[in-house]
């Protein structure tokens, strides 16, 4: 739970990054493993299994990021809950007063809940109604997500649904909003992309520019009537420029960072196109962060990264809304 003191600290860190050029990785995205219990048709992470930092080093890494000013950790994967020490990593984050958002497919959550304890936010992948979700993911996976949603509502854990929008799921955007509303959850829509898909053939699932504009227009419209959508107004407008992209001032590697399961740090999760990573396996996070390359590119395919970059425009009207929504969205 963030106190007002934590919020002021976070706002001050953002201002230092934005106006003084400081490097403070306030937000850390951390897929702790690429292993996964699922084989979703649009995701290649389970085929990219690599070495993983040991439990001991993982806990030190949490400490070192906390020392650098990290206040938000987004644990993901692969499926983070296949990693046996996920609970220890979460507990260490809690000890360091770091806000923990856990992105999960939901299948292992109820079994592991007693051991992982309470997280600050659950981000759960839900791609559409049962037929769409199960076809992408696994038979019975929709029912598993519904069980987690019911349980999180009982525990009063904030939930953000994370639908991957493709040509197949685009017609079902309204249904995801209906489900979110029923369970008191929020939603961050994420267009499908080649990055997590790796070698998978997802060309027919990709949205073209006309479909992107249609998605952007539909979300802009729905957002007026549904408080469940956490994509910001600026973020929704940015979607309309994809897949080509639009210049965006980039704060990757300075305000936020992306830590791979093997200890490699990238500025953001557009890994393939970016310069070589910097490893914190055998040296401190601070030293590794110093060598994370400064980069910029035109296309923020990941809505979370785009929202963070847009937030840093410090547009007086949008800044407060973006900051609030970024946290609610589990950036």
Ligand X SMILES: C[S@@+](CC[C@H](N)C(=O)[O-])C[C@H]1O[C@@H](n2cnc3c(N)ncnc32)[C@H](O)[C@@H]1O
Q: Is 31 helix (H, G, I), strand (E, B) or coil?
A: strand
Where does residue 21 rank: exposed (0-12), middle (13-18), buried (19+ CB within 10 A)? exposed
| Window of 168-176, 188-196, 230-238, 304-312 that interacts with ligand X by CB under 6 A | 188-196
36 binds ligand X per the rule CB under 6 A? yes
Q: Measured from the CB of residue 248, what is the shortest distance to ligand SF4 in angstroms?
A: 5
User: Which of 13, 43, 58, 89 is close enough to bind ligand X by CB under 6 A?
Assistant: 43
Report how far residue 249's alpha carbon sits from residue 245's, in angstroms, rounded to the nearest whole number: 12
Residues 288 to 317: which contact ligand X by CB under 6 A? none
197 binds ligand X per the rule CB under 6 A? yes
x-or-dash string of contact with ligand X, 156-185, rule CB under 6 A: ------x-x---------------------
The site partner of 197 among ligand X, ligand SF4, none (C-beta below 5 to 8 Å per kind) is ligand X
Residue written as token pair 């110093």 = 290
Residue written as token pair 């997590």 = 196
The site partner of 104 among ligand X, ligand SF4, none (C-beta below 5 to 8 Å per kind) is ligand X
The site partner of 252 among ligand SF4, ligand X, none (C-beta below 5 to 8 Å per kind) is ligand SF4
Report how far residue 186's alpha carbon sits from residue 180's, in angstroms, rounded to the nearest whole number: 6
Q: Measured from the CB of residue 132, what is the shortest distance to ligand X in angstroms?
A: 12
Q: Is the dihedral of CA 197, 142, 153, 215 positive or negative?
A: positive
45 binds ligand X per the rule CB under 6 A? yes
Question: Between 40 and 236, whose beta carbon lies closer to ligand SF4?
Answer: 40
Q: Measured from the CB of residue 258, what is the shortest distance to ligand SF4 in angstroms?
A: 9
Residue in 4, 75, 69, 62 with CA at minimum distance from that of residue 330: 75
Q: Which residues of 200-221 are buried (b: 16+ CB within 10 A; e: fewer)?
A: eebeebbbeeebbeebbebbbe
| Chain CA centroid to CA 291, Å | 23
Question: Between 69 and 163, whose beta carbon lies closer to ligand X?
Answer: 163
117: left (phi > 0), else alpha (psi -120 to 50), else beta?
left
> Rounded to 5 degrees, what angle do the CA atoms 316, 322, 327 make?
140
Question: Between 41 and 167, whose beta carbon lies closer to ligand SF4?
Answer: 41
User: Which of 52, 79, 305, 307 is close enough to bind ligand X by CB under 6 A?
Assistant: 79
Q: What does the DSSP 8-state code read for residue 163? A: P
Q: Report the relative pairing of strands 278-279 and 256-259 from DSSP bridges.
A: unpaired
Helix (H) or strand (E) holding 256: strand 256-259
Residues 279 to 308: which contact ligand SF4 by CB under 6 A? 295-297, 300, 305
Q: Report whether the peptide linkage leading into residue 243 is cis, meaning its omega lies within 30 degrees of zero.
A: yes
Q: Measured from the CB of residue 312, what is the shortest distance to ligand X in angstroms?
A: 23
Interface residue list for ligand X (CB under 6 A): 36, 42-43, 45, 76-79, 103-105, 125, 162, 164, 190, 192-193, 196-197, 202
Interface residue list for ligand SF4 (CB under 6 A): 36, 38-40, 43, 45-46, 77-79, 105, 248, 250, 252, 267-268, 270, 295-297, 300, 305, 309
């Amino acid at each position: 739970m963030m106190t007002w003191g934590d919020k002021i600290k976070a706002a001050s860190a953002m201002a230092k990054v934005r106006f003084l050029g400081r490097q403070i990785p306030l937000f850390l995205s951390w897929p702790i493993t690429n292993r996964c219990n699922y084989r979703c048709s649009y995701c290649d992470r389970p085929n990219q299994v690599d070495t993983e930092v040991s439990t001991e080093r993982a806990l030190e890494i949490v400490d070192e990021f906390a020392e650098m000013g990290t206040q938000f950790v987004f644990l993901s994967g692969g499926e983070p809950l296949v990693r046996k020490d996920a609970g220890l990593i979460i507990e260490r984050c809690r000890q360091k007063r770091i806000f923990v958002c856990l992105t999960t497919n939901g299948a292992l959550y109820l079994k592991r809940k007693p051991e992982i304890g309470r997280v600050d936010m659950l981000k759960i992948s839900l791609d559409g109604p049962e037929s769409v979700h199960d076809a992408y993911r696994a038979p019975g996976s929709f029912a598993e997500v519904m069980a987690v949603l019911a349980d999180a509502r009982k525990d009063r854990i904030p939930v953000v649904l994370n639908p991957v929008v493709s040509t197949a799921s685009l017609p079902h955007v309204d249904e995801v909003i209906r489900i979110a509303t029923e369970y008191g959850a929020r939603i961050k829509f994420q267009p499908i992309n080649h990055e997590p898909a790796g070698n998978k053939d997802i060309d027919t699932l990709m949205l073209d520019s006309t479909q992107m504009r249609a998605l952007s227009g539909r979300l802009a419209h729905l957002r007026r009537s549904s408080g469940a959508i956490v994509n910001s107004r600026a973020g929704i407008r940015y979607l309309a420029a994809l897949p080509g992209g639009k210049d965006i001032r980039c704060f990757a590697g300075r305000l936020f960072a992306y830590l791979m399961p093997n200890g490699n740090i990238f500025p953001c999760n557009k890994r393939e196109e970016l310069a070589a990573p910097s490893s914190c396996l055998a040296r401190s996070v601070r030293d590794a962060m110093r060598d994370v390359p400064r980069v910029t590119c035109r296309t923020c395919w990941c809505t979370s990264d785009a929202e963070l970059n847009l937030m840093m425009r410090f547009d007086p009207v949008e800044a407060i809304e973006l900051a609030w929504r970024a946290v609610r969205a589990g950036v």
